[in-house]
Amino acid sequence: MAAAFADTGTLGTNGRAVRASLDAKNTRSRELSSRTGELMNMGSAASLEMPFPVLIENSDGPFLWDADGNKYIDYQIGFGAMVLGHKHPAVQSAIEDQVHHRGWHFGLHNPNQVPLAELLIKADNGVERVIFCNTGTEATMYAIRAARAFTGKWKLGVFDGFYHGAHDYGIGLAVPDSPRERPTYMTMGAGVLPAIADHQLMLPYRSDAAFDLIRQHKEELAMVMIEPAQSSNPHMNDEIHDFLHELADVCRANDVLFMMDEVITGFRFAYGGAQERYGLTPDLATYGKILGGGLPVGAVGGRADIMALFNALGSDPRGIMSGGTFSGNPLTMAAGVAQIGYLDTHRAQVYPHLYRLGEKLATGINEYARSKNMAVQVLNAGPMFQIYFKGDEIRSSRDLNLTKPPAETEFYLHLLDQGVLVPGTRRSFVSYAHTDELIDQTIDIVRTCLDLVREDGLI
């Protein structure tokens, strides 16, 4: 079988060694990847963009095992969905009970939709009604539709560095050479109508100039959407708190709906998500990931008068269409009730643990990078973190390069080889199943990997 890497002769000693090591201990993953390559677009989805082919076969707590039996400390953690860790007993028991005794797809409503909706409303004091769908992408898509129908306006405000799902209005970039305080919107990838840009207003993240743009475009802006902590640029501090509060105030003063995209932060920053953490009440909020206990889910919640449009098709000219064969399906609802119910009753233990370990990991890596004068830093918003190969301050996506430096590519190969798994997106999470010992072990591994990259002259 051919090796996964070709040695061009330009690699350092450690770069060649890590490729040989990964080749040698991942023969089955490589063989399966080569077979599926003609069936699946292995690099088209974020879940598959790894520095080396890794096919996961088993999981438990904070660990994953690949098809070759290699064990990893997992910081992908289901792209954040497994906040309690893999195969948590409460969630696994609920899934097994549903499958073995009740069934996994009915097509009609099921009783577990009610307690899960009640748990979400209990967590979020701004949500008066809820609808379930299948993904965070669907949730933001429906929230946009509801906002446009409710306001009669079409334009959406988004912030540079945003991600609100894989639909046409959830992806986009600031034109790189456009003014920082007045960024120009551009679509991401092919197949997106150019006219999408006409209905999007790109706002500068963490800048008061955003408020002036909202005021200038208030007559056409239906809603402004924001991630309480950008997944591409995670921060949590007083400045973010104040920025979010002023944003909410400016939107309300100008008759523009304010939406918080809590697909990632919901039930992670607190039981009530970033809304609880920052003391905010948006008009609409979207959820995913954690809400489903590891199964596909999305949800839209918000003010009753806006949410009423989901049930008004045919009876109100503003009524909107929503639906899906698997929306609110019984298996996801059972898993969701188990996971969110556990977070509700154990919040006093879960959230301090997540924050303490998240800070410990970030501090340990940052202190080492500074002590060795490495242009490397960790940004974290509590238990959500990302490692950046950049020494200067990072305030927004405008401070980041779209292309990854060679040091980053090499670092993640070494990290994978040493048994730490970070997703291809680099957006990483600490779960309740991680321990102090695992964090200490991870810090030591990261230090070793950074040293190996520097020995090859890349840092």
Most confident of 18-32, 146-160, 394-408: 146-160
For residue 28, which phi and psi values (nearest 5 degrees)?
-70, -40
Is the alpha carbon torsion for 406, 39, 298, 225 positive or negative? positive
Global pTM exceeds 0.85: yes
Is the alpha carbon torsion for 426, 431, 433, 434 positive or negative? positive
pLDDT digits (tens, 9 = 90+) for 374-400: 999 999 999 999 999 998 999 988 888
Judge whether 70 and 419 are in contact, CB under 8 Å. yes
pLDDT digits (tens, 9 = 90+) for 306-318: 999 998 888 888 9
Over residues 216-241, the mean pLDDT reads: 95
pLDDT of residue 324: 87
pLDDT digits (tens, 9 = 90+) for 78-108: 999 999 999 999 999 999 999 999 988 888 8
pLDDT digits (tens, 9 = 90+) for 41-50: 444 444 445 6
Pairing of the two strands 129-133 and 298-302: antiparallel
204 vs 27, 195, 395, CA distance in Å? Answer: 46, 21, 11
Pairing of the two strands 384-388 and 56-60: unpaired
Looking at the chain, the whole-number percentage of residues with pLDDT higher than 90 is: 76
Q: Which two tokens stand for residue 34?
A: 């080569």
Over residues 180-208, the mean pLDDT reads: 93
Helix (H, G, I), strand (E, B) or coil at 164: coil
Class assignment of domain 89-345?
A: alpha beta
DSSP output for 431-445: -TT--HHHHHHHHHH
Helix (H, G, I), strand (E, B) or coil at 140: helix
Q: Which two tokens stand for residue 439?
A: 């964090």
pLDDT of residue 39: 44
Of residues 377, 381, 357, 382, the one with CA closest to residue 367: 377
d(CA 334, CA 113): 8
Averaged pLDDT score across all residues of the chain: 91
pLDDT at 302 over 50: yes
pLDDT of residue 46: 44
pLDDT of residue 3: 55
Model confidence at 405, pLDDT cuts 50, 70, 90, reads: confident
pLDDT at 157 over 70: yes
pLDDT of residue 49: 55
d(CA 203, CA 162): 10
Of residues 241, 247, 226, 206, the one with CA closest to residue 393: 206
Over residues 157-164, the mean pLDDT reads: 94
Looking at the chain, the whole-number percentage of residues with pLDDT higher than 70 is: 93
pLDDT at 36 over 60: no
